[in-house]
A and B are shown apart, each in its own frame.
With several copies, the nearest count.
Chain A
Amino acid sequence: MNKNRIEIDIKIPNQTRYLRLIGKIGEELAIGLNEYSGNCNTLAYYINLVITESVINTITHANACDPDKMVHLSIGIEHDELVIRVFDEGEGFDINNVPPPDFEGLEEGGRGVFLIRAIMDSVNYRKMGTENVLEMRKSLKNK
């Protein structure tokens, strides 16, 4: 059962200087996935990106850039899926109401959630007790 289970639970200060570290951890996890049916290096880049995008949203939106807060996330393998969860204690938001980017306009922001959805197989954001959790899953099979 346990055979491929991996759990990495991370707490870092609410600061952008740690984005590299958490992105790299996701990348290294993906690089070692013998069981992945696709290109591990491409997956590694994408996982790095998804972690970076979701955590910068927590840093800026949920935690209002307060450097004394902490960010909590987990990266793991569960039943042939790579699962990333990012927790926050902010006001929350409705992820299904985030509009797609305006591809004709030239907005500076608004591409984070779009990229996360483009890369992952399932993405949801919900309240769980006193916190919110953004849960992102990617199947390692038949893709």
Chain B
Amino acid sequence: MNLDIAEQKKLVVIAIKEERLDAHNATDLKSELLALFEQGKKNILINLQDVRFIDSSGLGALVSGFKNAITNQGSLKLAGLQPQVKSMFELTRLHRVFDIYPTAADVPELP
């Protein structure tokens, strides 16, 4: 899957360069996230601004990453959700789980 991965100080920013985050590529995202945690990178920001469509498998990959972040005393934040993508988080109540920022620039710097 197409991802742009950039490191900003303590934060790894992953921009998902796909129109869809779905059952076809969710496993790829899960493995990418696992690889980062294994490298000791534990504070992740996922930028979804290019994602127009997310399904329950896409949500599942983000939940998986979130749990791994917590287990590693890290964090997984989200930014750039398009309105219809956001509505998927609301329908599944996952907007109460994730820290969600309007854009990547709105995410506060890590201490």
Asked whether the complex places CB atoms of A and B closer than 8 A, the reply is yes
A: residues with CB less than 8 A from B are 16-17, 19-20, 23, 42, 45, 48-49, 52-53, 56, 59-60, 101, 103, 106-109, 111-112, 114-115, 118
The minimal Cβ–Cβ distance linking B55 to chain A, given in whole angstroms, is 5
CA of A73 to CA of B57 in the docked complex: distance in angstroms? Answer: 20
Binding site secondary structure of chain B: helix
CA of A19 to CA of B56 in the docked complex: distance in angstroms? Answer: 13
CA of A45 to CA of B87 in the docked complex: distance in angstroms? Answer: 10
Binding site secondary structure of chain A: helix
Q: Are B22 and A19 in contact (CB under 8 A)?
A: yes
Q: CB-nearest residue of chain A relative to B24?
A: A16
21 A/B residue pairs, CB under 8 Å, sorted by A: A19-B22, A19-B23, A19-B24, A20-B22, A20-B24, A23-B20, A23-B22, A42-B84, A48-B53, A49-B55, A52-B22, A52-B23, A52-B55, A56-B57, A106-B67, A107-B60, A108-B60, A108-B63, A108-B64, A111-B60, A115-B92
Identify which of A17, A19, A48, A114 contacts B92 (C-beta below 8 A): A114
The minimal Cβ–Cβ distance linking A22 to chain B, given in whole angstroms, is 11
The minimal Cβ–Cβ distance linking A58 to chain B, given in whole angstroms, is 11
Beyond A20-B20, A52-B23, whether A103 also contacts B55 by CB under 8 A is no
Q: Are B92 and A106 in contact (CB under 8 A)?
A: no
CA of A12 to CA of B26 in the docked complex: distance in angstroms? Answer: 20
